[in-house]
Amino acid sequence: MSEQSHVNSLFLNEDAAKRLSAESRVQRLRQAVQKRAARAKKRMHSITADSAKSFLRRNAFVLFTIAAVLLGIILAFSLRPYHLTYRQIKYFSFPGELLMRMLQMLVLPLIVSSLITGMASLDGRASGKMGMRAVVYYMVTTIIAVFIGILMVIIIHPGKGSKDKLHREGRIEQVQTTDAFMDLVRNMFPPNLVEACFKQNITHALGTISEVLTFEEVIPIPGSANGVNALGLVVFSMCFGLVIGSMKQKGRALREFFNCLNEAIMRLVAIIIWYAPVGIMFLIAGKILEMDDLAVMGGQLGMYTLTVIVGLLIHALCILPLLYFIVTHRNPWVFIAGLLQALITALGTSSSSATLPITFRCLEENNGVDRRITRFVLPVGATINMDGTALYEALAAIFIAQVNNYELDFGQIITISITATAASIGAAGIPQAGLVTMVIVLTSVGLPTEDITLIIAVDWFLDRLRTTTNVLGDSLGAGIVEHLSRHELDAQDCELGNCEPGKEQLSHLDCESSKPLKNSLYPLFINFISL
């Protein structure tokens, strides 16, 4: 009997212990919540007029830019009932055109000087490892983007219906895939560096020669098109920087020259950046006013637009931050908060190259990313890393197949994914990249290239979202490459005598606590996350 009572008491003690354990966990949770609430309340009471002014002063540019986007949209819809002529719209959007010209003016010297100084400041082994990490990141994110685009268009199926209901715009010139890729390789090795600053190589179709009644041949001839040959300048600058770095003391004068040039360009950026909100407002308003009929955004084209937006949002807000968190174990939203200026500028200018000066500024000043990384990764990323473009091209190709009631088999879908990935990587080296790469993807599976005119009506809007995704991918890639390359960077600092023994280097997010932040919403995000 006593043995039975002993067993019962053991069970009772065990149950009591479980209850006490559960109660203690609840109590600890309640105490933690109360502490956080008290801390938040204290923080709210500590907000003064001076701290509010300080916050507004730090984040003035971001707030002005957000306000400019909203004002541009409101202004455009207010003016649409007046049916402005094309000339009047051009006059109206002139301030936006000036912003684009200013930024494009800085892109060329910025790419060359930043790449040369970045490569010259790294030894050959370190730059090789960083380059490999960057390329792997670019390939992984681009392939993921392509498959997201394919998945979205198959699930949502926006092409259901007849293409007769869709409105065509523009005309498509036929492009041979082999000619386009040969132009890409030609542009990697420009014969004249001065000419590469304003011209790209392009193959023109001269016409047909009928040698036999049943045989016609299109004669390709070499030619050129206006536009910076960014790919050729990137290849040259990387090689030139590596050579200067290998020259050690002999190359010091050149290193200092390009360092000084890069610093001067960034100071020009600091001046021009305050004009950006005005230019962005007129750029967005002008584009909305140019639209003949906003009703084209409805129906099939509206579903197509929605599908692209959903795909880009999944890639930009889920996949890229998740990759950053997995690799660095840091909060990606804190990092993205420092990029708001660059992302809004990309949305307004629709050019990742034109946004490059502001992206440099955001990463180096707001997020504290090592300048050796930004100078190397950002120019290359802006040239070859086009996640948004790859997603869009794969999705658009399958949409065109759907409106033509063309059933694609698994092999053709794989072909589209491979071609879209390759075409997006080489987009900067192909003249008229957006159009040509789309033609290449459609040609790879035998889809009608003239049907690109069905989606041109909404391309101006989707292009801005693609560019924003591309800039975000480049920036997060720089953060990831810096995290993975921290050992090489620290070792090089120690070789140059820039670090103390036993003292670890601060990472790009650790620096934020000891470095004043400019033009960023970072403090707001930190307060929100720490609640």
DSSP, res 315: I
CA distances to 104, 111, 188 from 108, rounded to whole Å, are 7, 5, 16
Residue 50 in domain: no
Residue 325 in domain: yes
- The residues facing 202 across adjacent strands are 223
Residue 412 in domain: yes
pLDDT in tens, 445-500: 888 877 787 787 788 888 889 999 999 999 999 999 999 988 888 887 777 666 54
Q: 369: phi > 0 → left, psi -120 to 50 → alpha, else beta; which?
A: beta
Query: What's the token pair of residue 340?
Result: 């708001």
Residue 247 in domain: yes
**What is the structure's pLDDT at 510?**
46
> How many C-beta atoms surround the C-beta of residue 396 within 10 A?
26
- Between the CA atoms of 439, 378, 274 and 71, what dihedral angle is there, to the nearest 10 degrees? 40
pLDDT in tens, 253-293: 988 999 899 889 888 888 888 888 899 899 889 888 887 66
Read off the pLDDT band of 117 (50, 70, 90).
Answer: confident
239: Cα within 13 Å, side-chain hemisphere = 8
- pLDDT value at 523 more than 70: no
> How many C-beta atoms surround the C-beta of residue 122 within 10 A?
25
**What is the structure's pLDDT at 509?**
46
Q: Which of 63, 62, 67, 77 is nearest to 286 (CA)?
A: 77
**What is the structure's pLDDT at 506?**
44
pLDDT in tens, 60-96: 777 888 888 899 999 999 998 888 888 999 999 999 9
Q: Does residue 380 contact residue 458 with C-beta atoms inside 8 Å?
A: no
Residue 506 in domain: no
Q: Is 275 exposed, middle or buried (0-12, 13-18, 19+ CB in 10 A)?
A: middle
Residue 309 in domain: yes
- pLDDT value at 409 more than 60: yes
**What is the structure's pLDDT at 20?**
56
pLDDT in tens, 449-463: 777 877 877 888 888
**What is the structure's pLDDT at 136?**
93
Q: Which of 350, 441, 428 is nearest to 103 (CA)?
A: 350
pLDDT in tens, 205-242: 655 544 444 445 556 666 666 667 777 888 888 888 88
Find the mean pLDDT for residues 341-368.
88
Mean pLDDT (the chain, rounded)? 78
Of 191-195, 213-217, 390-394, 396-400, which range is least confident?
Answer: 213-217
Q: What percent of the chain has pLDDT over 70?
A: 73
**What is the structure's pLDDT at 17?**
56
Total number of domains constituting the chain: 1
Residue 70 in domain: yes
Which residues form the domain of 378? Answer: 57-488+519-529
Of 105-114, 157-166, 327-336, which range is least confident?
Answer: 157-166
CATH number of the domain that residue 473 is part of: 1.10.3860.10
- pLDDT value at 145 more than 90: yes
**What is the structure's pLDDT at 205?**
61
- pLDDT value at 504 more than 50: no
Residue 297 in domain: yes
Query: What's the token pair of residue 517?
Result: 């932040």
pLDDT in tens, 11-59: 455 555 556 566 676 777 777 777 777 776 666 666 666 666 776 776 7
Q: What percent of the chain has pLDDT over 90?
A: 20
